[in-house]
Amino acid sequence: MDFKVHVWRQKNRNSQGKMVTYELANISEEMSFLEMLDVLNEQLIGRNEEPIAFDHDCREGICGACSAVINGVPHGPEHGTTTCQLHMRSLKGVRELFVEPFRSRAFPIIKDLVVDRSAFDRIISAGGYVSVNAGSAQDANNLPVPKEAADKSFDAATCIGCGACVAACKNASAMLFVSAKISQLALLPQGDPERDRRVSKMVKQMDEEGFGNCTNTYECEAACPKEISVENIARLNCEFLRSTFISNEE
């Protein structure tokens, strides 16, 4: 497989970036997208050129570090996959690839395809935790939790915090990410002590980080590699209204 690859190159967050074009030949269809980038970097290093900086860690669709926008789609055209899970066989018939970093004011570019997603960490630090001592795994399993609530909490917990929802949203909203983290704990009894403070603090931090508003276009759900449902956004809104009423009563 032969490709013309257009990659966003930017030296650092203070410099101007631009798309740079590279030619790649004889790429195996069994390669993952990141392995294709590895091949390109080997060629660049062989020509004494600066290799392309991109995030990766597990390469198994678990960590969410491998984020990139491929031909206008976060993580590429395959539904429910991360960039590292995208294989070149999925791009048969495609001859040009446009590879860019996630775009958001809250995700400043560090270098090339690497962005600073520490805004997500600060949102989690604001309220994404529990203070209750549930004991060991055996003790925690003794707490009665309805199966439907447990299933929904587990589904929300699959969020890997990659930021594809932000990159896909025309407003760069982080509502799907925040709602998943809030739903994960709000549905369980262990999350009840901080329930109201959690949602108000995390939403406040989200706004301070500069993420946009949600206008319900559902692009976030479509781009999410873990297929997190926008149902969580509705739950976040309910939780936020609940916390507002309680704080007003106090």
pLDDT in tens, 220-238: 999 999 999 999 999 999 9
Give kind and range of the element (H or E) at residue 222: helix 219-223
Residues constituting the chain:
250
DSSP string spanning 1-26?
A: --EEEEEEE-SSTTS--EEEEEEE-S
Which residue has 């860019």 as its token pair? 100
Q: Structural domains in the chain? A: 3-111 (3.10.20.30), 118-249 (1.10.1060.10)
Mean pLDDT of 178-203: 94
- Rounded distance, CA 55 to CA 114, Å? 6
pLDDT in the model for residue 140: 63
Structure-model confidence comparison of residues 24 and 136, the more confident one: 24
Residue 70: is its pLDDT beyond 70? yes
pLDDT tens for 117-128 read 999 999 999 999
Q: What's the confidence (pLDDT) of residue 172? A: 97
Query: Does residue 143 have a pLDDT over 80?
Result: no
Judge whether residue 212 has pLDDT over 90.
Answer: yes
- Which residues, 6 or more positions from 208, have their beta carbon under 8 angstroms from its beta carbon? none
**Listed residue (123, 115, 98, 94) closest to 13, CA to CA:** 115
pLDDT for position 248: 61
pLDDT at 249: 53
* CB distance 118 to 19 below 8 Å: no
Q: Best-predicted range by mean pLDDT among 51-55, 89-93, 146-150?
A: 51-55
- pLDDT at residue number 190: 87
**pTM of the entire structure?**
0.92
Label residue 232 left, alpha or beta by phi (over 0 means left) and psi (-120 to 50 means alpha).
alpha
